[in-house]
Structure 1
Amino acid sequence: MPPRSLILPLLAGLLLAVPAPFASVWAAQPIGSYANGCIADARELPPEGSGYQAVNLSRGRNFGHPALVDYVAGLARRAGAEGLGRLAVGDLSQPRGGRMPSGHASHQIGLDADVWFDLDLPALPRDARERTDFPSMVDVSGQRIDPGRFGVRQRRLLQLAAGDPRVTRIFVNPAIKLALCEGETGDRAWLRKVRPWFGHASHFHVRLECPPDAADCVPQSPVPPGEGCDAELLSWFEPRKDTPREPTKIPPPPPACVALFKR
């Protein structure tokens, strides 16, 4: 065994020799909450890969925690292997996370991703992917899914998306959640992670849980028990009163994020 005086230099040399991708994995840290935070050392989701293509790249929102990048790439491979189609991947986070100029309150710590339900988008050059004209899966007039658009493939994609143990929630339009509740005849445990939320008629929003080593990541409250196919879901279809609401006050970001944004 080498003398103790040599051990620390040897260890330092080993750490310096770690390949950059692995060093990035160890350094990446989500800080704060999903709706008020940032991420240090986010990784870029490549603009295209096996089974997917990222859209709206000009926004600079295709960055996330390495676990999220791995999740999206893995979901695309599984969907492709089952012949579901090519995924169109929307917003993840900005390079350092934080609040986006428009479009989201969350997506701030590199653990959220949007995936469009349209599985028939052909492979396109990057400039042709600057688009927001993805079809809605919901017939708004009847508050139900459009069966001509939301079918077996979209249902299976959501099941695959929810099957990863890193996923804590998947947000979809209430009409889509209702269709899943009414149509699932097999294993229904995965329905618990699929939660109704405003919008989300053209895409679904995946949220990963805080990684085990992320000490500064603030987790969301656990998903309630059960399938989520009860009275709470039905309440989304009740008439809602248009009552004026107080403007939402945007909280200051965590101090660690303020320092990160200044780099």
Structure 2
Amino acid sequence: MKFDARAALRRCGSTVLALIMGVSLVSAEAAANDAPPAKELFGAKDLPMQAAPASFGFYSKGCLAGGVAIPTDGPTWQAMRLSRNRRWGHPAMIALIERFSHDAVEKIGWPGLLLGDISQPRGGPMLSGHASHQIGLDADIWLTPMPQRTLSYQERETISATSMLDKSKFLTVDPSIWTPSHARLIMMAASYPQVERVFVNPAIKKKLCDTWRGDRAALGKVRPIYGHDYHFHIRIKCPPGSKGCKDQAVVPAGDGCDRSLAWWFTDEPWAKPKQKPGAKPPKPKFAKLADLPKACALVLNGPAPASEQEATYGTAYRAPAAIPAAATSIEAVIEAAGEAPLANIPVPSPRPGLQ
């Protein structure tokens, strides 16, 4: 049999190429695994990206460009937990909070809002506490009324919100704490057309279903979820023109006082996930920058304003008249990628801690 040197070289070359490609793939995978969690990258940013306001991705998987901060204090609100630096949001969200706080005082006599977490300066995954709040369109409002004095920094860090639940009973609102004003406050939040959902504890939803005698048109937007007995969570729709923002599915028709609510009062939502005997608990997986919409890499590394005051809503803040060059690059990324990066963004499963 005659030895074919050329064929042997071709086979050898193919083998070497396959080995090189294999090593490259392994190296790329290792590099991806070694990348820091996205929450560490976004949590380290003190200021927003200076750009035209834009939300990218989904509420639980995305980022925010052109975010603005709500002032620490306003005539009808005070921001809490200032050390977290989470009073940033899309201008549409911040404007709604200010309007809501004013309406609550003027129309239903609520003393003023205590504001919980909104978003980080550039959105993205948070170091602790939330699965959502990533695109500047979510905000937590305490169910504790604002006191008629300005709280100190230390008080804002240490004062606890008041739970509305009777801890001695299963999913029951405490009648000594809950008031009709709490109901009016939540229903007012749900009444704004730009609000997509208001998340509350299942016991609070049931209380509203049983006792609300006003217009029930917005009651369907009040959705039960784990936790949320100390505060409620406002989520607004993607602002008009937000190409890279993905809305949540439309709320089902009706007031939500149906089987979907009754499910929360069964054992199923509270059962621990089944695990094989002797199996090790799965290691927590944290989203990496590469897991977020492509625009988020540009948001993370984009330019910042000169100061926090420059990006604080209603003070020195002025919405950009034109999109800066960095933001234009973001738009180019969206145009090039189309909707593909956003199509498979999962909605968090209904387990404790996910919002």
TM-score (norm 1): 0.86
Amino acid across the alignment from 1:256? A
Q: Hey, what's the Cα distance between the residues in 1 that align with 2:94 and 2:261?
A: 31
Shift of 1:95: 0.5
Instruction: Note if contact 1:30-1:110 (Cα within 8 Å) is conserved in structure 2.
Output: yes
Which residue matches 2:352? none
What SS class does the counterpart of residue 216 from structure 1 fall into? coil
Which residue matches 1:202? 230
Which residue matches 2:203? 175
Q: Does 1:125 align with 2:152?
A: yes
Which residue matches 1:77? 102
- Larger RCO, structures 1/2 (Cα 8 Å, 6+ apart): 2
Please report the RMSD computed on the Cα atoms of aligned residues, expressed in angstroms: 1.7
Amino acid across the alignment from 2:155? A
Amino acid across the alignment from 2:258? D
Which of residues 109, 127, 136 is equivalent to 1:101? Answer: 127
Shift of 1:243: 2.1
Instruction: Note if contact 2:111-2:148 (Cα within 8 Å) is conserved in structure 1.
Output: no
Which residue matches 1:260? 299
Q: Does 1:89 align with 2:119?
A: no
Q: Hey, what's the Cα distance between the residues in 2 that align with 1:250 and 1:75?
A: 34
Shift of 1:165: 0.5
Instruction: Note if contact 1:37-1:97 (Cα within 8 Å) is conserved in structure 2.
Output: yes
Residues 108 and 163 (structure 1), Cα distance of their counterparts in 2 relative to 1, 3 Å cut? same
CA offset digits 1:150-169 (Å, max 9, x no partner) = 11111110111111100000
Identity, % of aligned positions = 43
Which residue matches 2:313? none
Instruction: Note if contact 1:27-1:40 (Cα within 8 Å) is conserved in structure 2.
Output: yes
Q: Hey, what's the Cα distance between the residues in 1 that align with 2:219 and 2:283?
A: 33
Amino acid across the alignment from 1:257? C
What SS class does the counterpart of residue 95 from structure 2 fall into? helix
Alignment of 1:234-253 (within 5 A): 234-240=262-268, 241-244=271-274, 249-251=285-287, 252-253=291-292
Amino acid across the alignment from 1:225? A
Shift of 1:121: 3.1
Q: Hey, what's the Cα distance between the residues in 2 that align with 1:223 and 1:247?
A: 33
Which residue matches 1:156? 184
Structure 1 runs of 4+ with >4 Å offset: 245-251
Q: Hey, what's the Cα distance between the residues in 2 that align with 1:122 and 1:196?
A: 31
Q: Hey, what's the Cα distance between the residues in 1 that align with 2:159 and 2:203?
A: 21
Which residue matches 1:15? none
Residues 250 and 225 (structure 1), Cα distance of their counterparts in 2 relative to 1, 3 Å cut? farther
Runs (5+) with no aligned partner, structure 2: 1-49, 276-281, 303-355
TM-score (norm 2): 0.65
Q: After alignment, is 246-255 or 28-37 more displaced?
A: 246-255
- In terms of fraction of residues, the more strand-rich structure is 1
Alignment of 1:185-224 (within 5 A): 185-224=213-252
CA offset digits 1:141-190 (Å, max 9, x no partner) = 32110111111111110111111100000000000000000001231111
Shift of 1:195: 0.1
Shift of 1:72: 0.5
Q: Does 1:50 align with 2:80?
A: no
Q: After alignment, is 99-108 or 136-145 more displaced?
A: 136-145
Instruction: Note if contact 2:165-2:174 (Cα within 8 Å) is conserved in structure 1.
Output: yes
Shift of 1:244: 3.5
Structure exhibiting the larger radius of gyration computed from Cα positions = 2
